[in-house]
Structure 1
Amino acid sequence: MLRYVFHRLWQSALTLVLASVVIFLGVRALPGDPAVTMAGEQADPQTVAAVRAHLGLDRPLWAQYWEFLWHSVSGDFGHSIRTGSPVRAMIATTFPVTLQLAGYAMLIAVLTGVSGGVLAAVYRGRWPEWLANGVSLVAMSVPTFWLGLLGVLYLSVRLHWFPASGYVSPLHDPARGGYYLTLPALVLGLTHAAMLQRQTRSSMVETLTADFVRTARAKGLAPMTVVVRYGLRNSLIVVTTVIGLQLGLLIAGTVVTERIFALPGIGKLTLDSLFSRDYPVIEAVVLVIVASYILINLLVDLLYTVIDPRVRVAGRTR
């Protein structure tokens, strides 16, 4: 077991280092010059050169990358070119907002997606399955930004059920904070619930036709016991994998939703930094998102050993 854990940790660390190289080169390939942005369009070449030297952009790429990697490991991402604020403080302020939104949306996705998938699998070939598949198909086809705009137009402006924008921290006021996050979480959660519903249904259909499920039914066990204890439990590997992937996508894909609902999350910070060519902020934000995605996948892999004992045995024999 420990060998398996160390092996996954080593793979995750290597993936993060390779991702840092891609992030660094990708940011440097962006059009525009942050030195010109900081100095101003009308600045003379000497001023631009001085700003570039101050930012360290005149040094070789390998030296810039080494400094970026060293600062990332130490947790010091430098200062923003646009505001001069510490990048670590900016991320510490905005990232919790994105995590709260992603967690709330994931809760909605799991509750609706898993229940819809189980319902479609149990009533296979009947109207509940057709309804669940139809709703999931529509949810997967509608773009998130369009669903968000519809939510603002009908649920906020016309019906006044939810606020159209704004943010209140759930840590300070849980009821009001949850109220402000409900509509954007619904927009994100329903989109991801569609994929989770289809994967849950597919896995449940395969499990419910297995021999051990037929044996459980032949013993006279209650239908709900068969579905939950034997069907859903043995489908958790696939469901957990999809949940982990969807949660990583949620954290990385909140940019549009945060923009629509004016949430001060990491998505808004990313867009503002891209427009101003703020290299330190862009690099730090993307690296934090990638690290979060890698960490989620690592936790999902380790969770397999709890859900399925066969994975735990395989890990010990390596």
Structure 2
Amino acid sequence: MARHLLHRLWQSALTLVLASIVVFAGIRALPGDPATAMAGEEADPATIQAVRARLGLDQPLPVQYLKFAGRALTGDLGVSTRTGTPVGELIRATLPVTVQLAVYAMAVAVLAGTTAGVLAAVFRGRWPEWAANALSLTALSVPTFWLGILAVLYLSVHLGWFPASGYVSPFDHPVRGLYYLTLPALILGLTHSAVLQRQTRASMTGTLSADFVRTARAKGLGGTAVVFRYGLRNSLIVVVTVVGLQLGGLIGGAVVTERIFTLPGIGKLTLDSVFTRDYPVVQAVVLVITASYIVINLLVDVLYTVIDPRIRVSGRSR
């Protein structure tokens, strides 16, 4: 296990280095000049050149990348060209909001998706399967931004069940904080639950048709025990894989939801930074999200051996 973990850590570190190169090059390829944006469009060339020299943009790209990577290893992600605030402080202030929203939304997705998937697999060919498939298809087809706007109009404005915008930290006020995050988490979670429902249904349908399940039924094992002890347990590999991919996507893809509900998360920070050409912030945010995605996938790989002991750390079955 230790050898497998070290191997995966090495792979993750290499992936992070390659991702940092891609992020650095992609940011430099964007149109616009941060020095011009910082100095002002009407600034004279000498002022713009002085700003470029102060930001280190007049140096060759390999030198800029090495300095950026060296500072990033020490936790220094640069300074915002728009506000002058260290980027690390901005990320520490906004990332917890996005993580709370992503975890809450994933809890909703797992609860709704796995429940609907189990019902669709158990009641194949009957109305619960048709209803679960119809709901998942609808959730996959409806854009998140449109669903969020409708939720604000009807559930917040007309009915007053949820606040239309704002954020309260669950660490300061647990009940009120969860109340403010409930509607955006429901919008994000229901959208991602559709993928979980379809994957859980497909995996459980194959498992419940296997020979060992038919043998268990023939020996008199109850239907509930068969479904949860054999069907759902053997489908957890698929569920954990999808949850890992979806959670990484939630952290990086909550831009629209945070914008609709005015949540001060990392998605809103990224969007504001793109509009103002605050490239150090965009660069650091993308790198942090990439690192989060890599860490989540590493944890998923480790969980495989915990969920299914037949999976060896070498990647082969016993």
Deviation string for 1:20-64 (max 9, x for gaps)? 000000000111111111111111111111111111100000010
Query: In structure 1, what is the equivalent of residue 9 of structure 2?
Result: 9
2:4·2:313 contact (CA, 8 Å) conserved in 1?
A: no
Structure 1 window deviating more from structure 2 (298-307 vs 271-280): it is 271-280
Please tell me whether residue 243 in structure 1 is matched to residue 243 in structure 2: yes
Aligned equivalents of 2:124, 2:249: Cα separation in 1: 29
Structure 1 window deviating more from structure 2 (248-257 vs 275-284): it is 275-284
Aligned equivalents of 1:48, 1:315: Cα separation in 2: 55
What secondary structure, in the 3-state scheme, does the structure 1 residue paired with 2:31 have?
A: coil
Give the alignment of 1:191-210 within 5 angstroms: 191-210=191-210
CA-atom RMSD in angstroms: 1.3
1:84 maps to amino acid: G
- Deviation (angstroms), 1:272: 1.0
Aligned equivalents of 2:96, 2:61: Cα separation in 1: 32
Query: In structure 1, what is the equivalent of residue 219 of structure 2?
Result: 219
Query: In structure 1, what is the equivalent of residue 68 of structure 2?
Result: 68
1:104 maps to amino acid: Y
Query: In structure 2, what is the equivalent of residue 262 of structure 1?
Result: 262
- Deviation (angstroms), 1:74: 1.0
- Deviation (angstroms), 1:239: 0.9
Give the alignment of 1:261-280 within 5 angstroms: 261-280=261-280
What secondary structure, in the 3-state scheme, does the structure 2 residue paired with 1:312 have?
A: coil
Give the alignment of 1:53-92 within 5 angstroms: 53-92=53-92
Query: In structure 2, what is the equivalent of residue 159 of structure 1?
Result: 159
How many residue pairs were aligned?
A: 318
Query: In structure 2, what is the equivalent of residue 39 of structure 1?
Result: 39
In the superposition, the TM-score normalised over structure 1's length comes to 0.98
- Deviation (angstroms), 1:2: 1.4
1:306·1:312 contact (CA, 8 Å) conserved in 2?
A: no
Identity %: 73
- Deviation (angstroms), 1:276: 1.5
Deviation string for 1:97-124 (max 9, x for gaps)? 0000000000000000000000000000
For structure 2, list consecutive stretches of 5 or more residues without a partner in the other structure.
none
1:32 maps to amino acid: G
Aligned equivalents of 1:97, 1:184: Cα separation in 2: 12
Aligned equivalents of 1:195, 1:305: Cα separation in 2: 23
Query: In structure 2, what is the equivalent of residue 174 of structure 1?
Result: 174
Deviation string for 1:133-187 (max 9, x for gaps)? 0000000000000010010010001000000000000000000000000000000
Query: In structure 1, what is the equivalent of residue 252 of structure 2?
Result: 252
Query: In structure 2, what is the equivalent of residue 229 of structure 1?
Result: 229
- Deviation (angstroms), 1:313: 5.7
1:156·1:164 contact (CA, 8 Å) conserved in 2?
A: yes
Deviation string for 1:185-229 (max 9, x for gaps)? 000000000010000000000000001100111111110000000
Aligned equivalents of 2:74, 2:203: Cα separation in 1: 43
Aligned equivalents of 1:215, 1:172: Cα separation in 2: 53
Query: In structure 2, what is the equivalent of residue 143 of structure 1?
Result: 143
- Deviation (angstroms), 1:316: 9.2
Query: In structure 2, what is the equivalent of residue 108 of structure 1?
Result: 108
Aligned equivalents of 1:258, 1:272: Cα separation in 2: 12
1:294 maps to amino acid: I
Please tell me whether residue 95 in structure 1 is matched to residue 112 in structure 2: no
Aligned equivalents of 2:100, 2:81: Cα separation in 1: 27
1:232 maps to amino acid: L
1:42 maps to amino acid: E
Deviation string for 1:214-248 (max 9, x for gaps)? 01111111100000000000111111100100111
Aligned equivalents of 2:224, 2:301: Cα separation in 1: 29
For structure 1, list consecutive stretches of 5 or more residues without a partner in the other structure.
none
1:16·1:290 contact (CA, 8 Å) conserved in 2?
A: yes
In the superposition, the TM-score normalised over structure 2's length comes to 0.98
**Deviating runs (4+, > 2 A) in structure 1?**
312-317
